[in-house]
Amino acid sequence: MNAGIIGMGKYIPEKVLTNFDFEKMIDTTDEWIRSRTGIEERHIAADDEDTSDLGFYAAQRAIEDAGLSPEKIDLILVATVSPDQAFPSVACQIQERLGAKCPAMDISAACAGFIYGLVTAKQFVESNSYENVLVVGVEKLSKLTNWEDRNTAVLFGDGASAAVLSKVSEGRGILSFELGADGTGGKYLYLDENDQIAMNGREVFKFAVRQMGESAINVLEKAGLQKEDCDFLIPHQANIRIMEAARERLNLPEEKMSKTVHKYGNTSAASIGISMIEELEAGKIKDDDILVLVGFGGGLTWGAVTIRWGK
């Protein structure tokens, strides 16, 4: 039996920063941001809210949604590039707040982190090592943002999503996966000497357009499925133009791709989970639907999974 998602939860900070707010801060326009990225607004965590707080709230909700209590969690994996500090890990901080007693570790794979987390969880569940694994994707990117750099500042947002993985019924769950990394592209997206995000947008864009479509097709093939079997594409929410390119590679109609980038910007490791939860909340994902989750990010890293939805 495969590992699958049995519960999910998200947390979005309250404060909203719109494109019009940016017009007052830097040399940019709502029109530019909207047409080049699809982003209209993003949420920013409060000063007294750090990454572990956001992650904890999402984790609590996911565990509740799974119908479990924190003692039942056997492993905590937190995908983030914006930890409160280098150590203790965000995973250990969340473990303490939950009152859980299990191993805990962070995963650093930038915007592909949620996929890396799901795939790691799958290995532990399917090898019968652990029954319930909590995966959290969480970022407070606002603390790594250079607010004077218009090339990057307008792109990112804060948020958290979490999923509990466990064995699900025959034929459901994570059917296939692909993970990848190319360290030679590390120079295109990194934290600079001031601990601020630096990016060669054009290079990341080219890589992402190619990788997202390819990985999505690869995982469908690995699951023995065709493009047309995909009921819902849930891509990393970085830029609507990148997402659209992936959708077109799969020949999917617009309504079969999840889109939240306009509301939250790029929340890195949190984005795929947040988008998926919004589709679930809207009742758009049904039992036995085939979902393709696909992401890319700094590293460079990428990853995708095919899921047959349902417990």
Q: Which residue in 19, 230, 236, 239 is the catalytic one?
A: 236
Is 111 labeled as catalytic in the residue annotation?
A: yes
What is the spatial distance between Cα 253 and Cα 299, in angstroms, rounded to a whole number?
31
C-alpha neighbours within 13 Å on the C-beta side of residue 253: 2
Does 270 participate in binding ligand UT7 (rule CB under 6 A)?
no
266 binds ligand UT7 (CB under 6 A): yes
Q: Is 269 in the site for ligand UT7 (CB under 6 A)?
A: no
C-alpha dist (Å) from residue 311 to 3, 121, 217, 251, 295 = 9, 16, 24, 28, 23
With contacts defined by CB under 6 A, name the span among 25-33, 72-80, 91-99, 256-264 that binds ligand UT7.
25-33
Closest CA to 157 of 245, 300, 269: 269
Task: Give the active site residue among 2, 111, 132, 239.
Answer: 111
Answer yes or no: are the C-beta atoms of 205 and 265 closer than 8 Å. no
- With residue 104 as reference, give the H or E element that holds it: strand 104-107
Question: Would you say 208 or 290 has its CB closer to ligand UT7?
Answer: 208
Please say if 236 is a catalytic residue.
yes
- Does 34 sit near ligand UT7 (CB under 6 A)? no
The stretch near ligand UT7 (CB under 6 A) out of 96-104, 171-179, 194-202, 216-224 is 194-202
Q: Is 239 in the site for ligand UT7 (CB under 6 A)?
A: yes
What does the block give as tokens for 291? 């979902």
150 binds ligand UT7 (CB under 6 A): yes
In the annotation, is 102 catalytic? no
Distance between CA 76 and CA 9 in Å, rounded? 15
The C-alpha atoms of residue 76 and residue 90 are separated, in whole angstroms, by 10
Residue 210 is a binding residue for ligand UT7 (CB under 6 A): no
- Is there binding between residue 151 and ligand UT7 (CB under 6 A)? yes
Question: Is residue 28 a contact residue for ligand UT7 (CB under 6 A)?
Answer: yes
Q: Which residues contact 289 (CB under 8 A, 6 or more apart)?
A: 231, 232, 308, 309
Taking CB positions, which residue lies at the least distance from ligand UT7?
201
Active site residues: 111, 236, 266
By CB under 6 A, name the binding residues for ligand UT7. Answer: 28, 32-33, 36-37, 111, 150-151, 154, 199, 201-202, 204-205, 208, 238-239, 266, 297
